[in-house]
Structure 1
Amino acid sequence: MKYSFRQLEVFLAAAHFQNITRAAESLAMSQSAASSALKELESQFDIQLFDRVGKRLQLNELGRLYRPKAEALLAQARELEQAFSKHSEVGALKVGATLTIGNYLAVGVMAEYMSSPNHPKVSLEVANTSTIARRVRDFELDIGLIEGELQASELEVIPWREDRLVAFCSPDHPLAGKGELTDDDLRAATWILREQGSGTRQSFERGMHGLLPDLNVLLELEHTEAIKRAVEANLGIGCLSEVVLADAFKRGSLVPLAIPHRQFDRHFYFILHKQKYRSAGIARWMTLCEEL
C-alpha cells in the first residue's frame, strides 16, 4: 500500500485546521513531520489536495472529493483496532444536538451509552440546526440530532420521533383563561421566540404561515430557558416544544394556549454524512434514541 493511516490522519487534520502547524499539534507531531507526511502522500500519487495561500491550506476540489473516503477508512480502522484490543465495539462518539434535544433528551441517552462495559466517552455539542448540520457535513461530528427540516445533498436525514410545538403564557396573562386563540389574538399578542436558523423557529413559522408579517416579535432568544423565564415574567407569549414545557405545565408556572387551527406537529431527525462509516457506536446511539 502506497499510503499510511498516519498520512491520512495528517491530511484530515490539515483539512480541519487549514494550517499544518495546528494539524501537527493535534496529532502530537512536529510541524516538519506532518508537512513531510502530507507532501509524501501527494507526491506518491502525483496529486495536489490543497491550495496553498500563505500559511493557510484550503482544500481543493480533489481534496474535497477524497476527504469523506479518508474519514470512512480511518473510522473502520479505529473500530478494527478496538476489536483487536478486545474492547467493546462501542467507542467514543461526537454528537451534536439542537437545543431542545440536547438539553432535554440527549443527556439521558449519553448516560445509557456510557454505561457500556468499556465506558466509552461521548462529547455533546449543543447548537442550532444550521450549525449542527454544518459540523456533521465537515466530519466534525459523528451524528447530529436536529429538530428542523433540512435539505443538504451530502447528508442523510432520518426521521427519529414526533414532536409538537405548544404556545404558552404565564398564568397572569390576559390570554391564559381563553379557550381557543383566533388569528386576531395571535396578531395582537407580543411574542418571544427562538432565533432565526433554529429548528423551533422554522416549525413555528411554518405553523404561522400567512400571519408572519403581522406578528409582534419582542425578543428572539437562543435559549429555551431564557424564553420560559421571559414568558413567566409576563413579557409576552412563546411557542416551544412540548418536551421543553412539560415540567412547567405541571408546576403551573406556565399554561398552554390552544390554537387548534394551526399545525405545529413536527419530527426530530438523525443526520449523518452520506459517506460517513456507520460504526457500531453510531448504531448503538441510534438504537438508544429510538428506545427513549
Structure 2
Amino acid sequence: MRFTLRQLEVFMAIARTGNVTRAAGVLSMSQSAASSALKELESQYGVLLFDRAGKRLKLNEYGRQLRPQVEALLGQAEALETTLAQRQTPGTLKVGATLTIGNYLAPELMASYLAGENNARVELTVANTRAIVDQVLHFELDLGLVEGELNHPDLEVSHWMDDDLVIIAPADYPNADQPLTDQQLRQLPWIIREPGSGTRQAFDRAMQGLLNELTIRLELQHTEAIKRAVRAGLGVGCLSEITVREELELGLLKRLQAPQRNWHRKFYFVLQRHKYPSPGVSTWLELCRQYPLQPR
C-alpha cells in the first residue's frame, strides 16, 4: 500500500475547502506539508485529482470518482482508532434536520442521545430539505432528517415517521368547523413555506390541480413567522401538525378542514451511501425509531 491515511486526509480536506491553505489549517499542519502530501499522492499513481485555477482547487472527474471511497476508508479508520483507544463515546455527530424536525423534534433527540453517551457532542444544522440533502451528499453531515421526498443514487433514503399538514387560521375565523370546498381554497389568501422545503413540497402535492389558482400572499422560510402572520390576520397557513399543536390547544389558532385533499406525508432518514456509518449514527437512528422517547 503506497498511500498513507494522512495523504487521504489532505485530499479530503482540499476537496471540502477548495484550497491548500485552508485544508492545512483544518488539519493543523503547514501549507507546504499539505501541498507535498497531495503532490506525493498524485505522483505515486501518475494521476491528477484536481483542476487548478490559481489558488483554487476543484475536484476533476477522477477525483470525484475517488472521493466516496476515500471518505468510506477514512470513516473506517476513525472507527478502528476509537476501538483501539477503547473510547466509550462516539465523538462528534453531525446531524442535519429540516426546520420542522430541527426545531420541534431534534432537541428531545439530542437530549436523550447526550444523556446516554458520556462526553459525546452533537452539531445540529437546521435548513430546508434541499440544503440538508446537499450537505449529506457532500459528506458534510453524518445523516439528515428531512420532510421532502427525494431520490438520488448516492443516497440511502428510508422512512422514519408519519406526519400530517394542517390548515391554520386566526382564532376569530368564522365557521372553522365547516369543511372547505376547493372553491373556498382558491379564494383564501395563503401564507406558506418557501420552495425547496419539505412542507412546501407536501403542500404543493396536496393542492395538485389548484396550485395555479391559489392566492399566495406570502412565502416565508420560518414556521414561527408563518404562525405569527396567520395570527395577525394576514391569511391562512399550512404547517405540520407538530408545529402548531400548542397554539391549537390554547385557542390561539384554529384548524380548518379540507378532507378531500391528502395532507399526509412522511419524514425520512438520509445517509450518504458511500460514507461509513459511525457508532453514533447507529445510536441516533435507534433513538429516532423509538420516538416518542421515554426518559433515559
TM range (shorter): over 0.9
Quick check: 1:93 aligned with 2:97? no
Aligned to 2:18: 18
On the 8 A contact 2:191/2:235 being kept in 1, the answer is yes
Which amino acid is 2:161 matched to?
Answer: R
How far apart, in 1, do the equivalents of 2:241 and 2:177 lie?
19
Checking the alignment, whether the CA contact within 8 Å between 2:12 and 2:67 is kept in structure 1 is: yes
1:259 aligned counterpart, secondary structure: coil
Given that 1:146 and 1:268 are in contact with CA atoms closer than 8 Å, whether structure 2 keeps it comes out as yes
Give the deviation of 1:178 after TM superposition.
4.2
What is the CA-CA distance between 1:89 and the residue it aligns to? 5.4
Paired position in structure 2 for 1:156: 156
Q: Which residue of 2 aligns with 1:278?
A: 277
Aligned to 1:197: 196
Partner of 1:131: 131
- Contact 2:51 / 2:57 at 8 angstroms: preserved in 1? yes
After superposition, what is the alpha-carbon deviation per residue over 1:188-222, rounded to whole angstroms, capped at 9, x for unaligned? 10000000010000000000000001100111000
Distance 2:207 2:137 in 1: 30
> What is the percent sequence identity of the aligned residues?
55
Deviation at 1:79, TM superposition (A): 1.3
CA distance in 2, matches of 1:182, 1:252: 24
SS of 2:88 mapped into structure 1: coil
Structure 1 equivalent of residue 268 of structure 2: 269
Secondary structure at the aligned position of 1:115 is classed as helix
| Secondary structure, counterpart of 2:116 in structure 1 | coil
Matches within 5 A, 1:157-172: 157-172=157-172
Question: What residue in structure 1 maps to residue 74 of structure 2?
Answer: 74
**Residue 52 in 1 paired to residue 55 in 2?**
no
Contact kept? 2:168, 2:253, Cα under 8 Å: yes
Aligned to 1:288: 287
| Partner amino acid, structure 2, of 1:234 | G
Shift, 1:156, TM fit: 1.1
- Aligned pair count? 291
| TM-score (ref. length: structure 2) | 0.96
Q: Give the whole-Å Cα distance in 2 for the aligned partners of 1:255 and 1:38.
A: 60
Task: Determine if contact 1:170/1:254 at 8 Å carries over to the other structure.
Answer: yes
1:213-245 CA distance string (max 9 Å, x none): 110011100000000010011110000001101
Paired residues of 2:176 and 2:254 also in contact (CA < 8 A): no
Aligned partners of 1:226, 1:47: CA distance in 2, in Å?
A: 52
* C-alpha separation in 2, matches of 1:275 and 1:214: 43
**Is the 2:159–2:268 Cα contact (8 Å) retained in structure 1?**
yes
Query: What is aligned with 2:205?
Result: 206
Q: Which runs of no fewer than 5 residues in structure 1 stay unpaired?
A: none
Stretches of 4+ aligned residues off by more than 3 angstroms: none
Match of 2:164, SS state, is strand
Offset at residue 91 of structure 1 (A): 2.8
Partner of 1:27: 27
Amino acid at match of 1:113: Y
- Aligned pairs for 1:212-251 within 5 A: 212-251=211-250
Q: Distance in 2 between matches of 1:178 and 1:111?
A: 38
Equivalent-residue separation in structure 2 for 1:241 and 1:21 (angstroms): 44
1:259 alignment counterpart:
258
2:73 corresponds to which letter in structure 1?
A: L
How far did 1:177 drift? 2.9
TM-score computed with the length of structure 1 as normaliser = 0.97
Superposed CA RMSD:
1.1
Taking the aligned partners of 1:43 and 1:262, their CA distance within structure 2 comes to 61
**How far apart, CA to CA, are the structure 1 residues paired with 2:173 and 2:260?**
21
Q: Deviations over 1:28-49 (max 9, x none)?
A: 1111110001111111111111
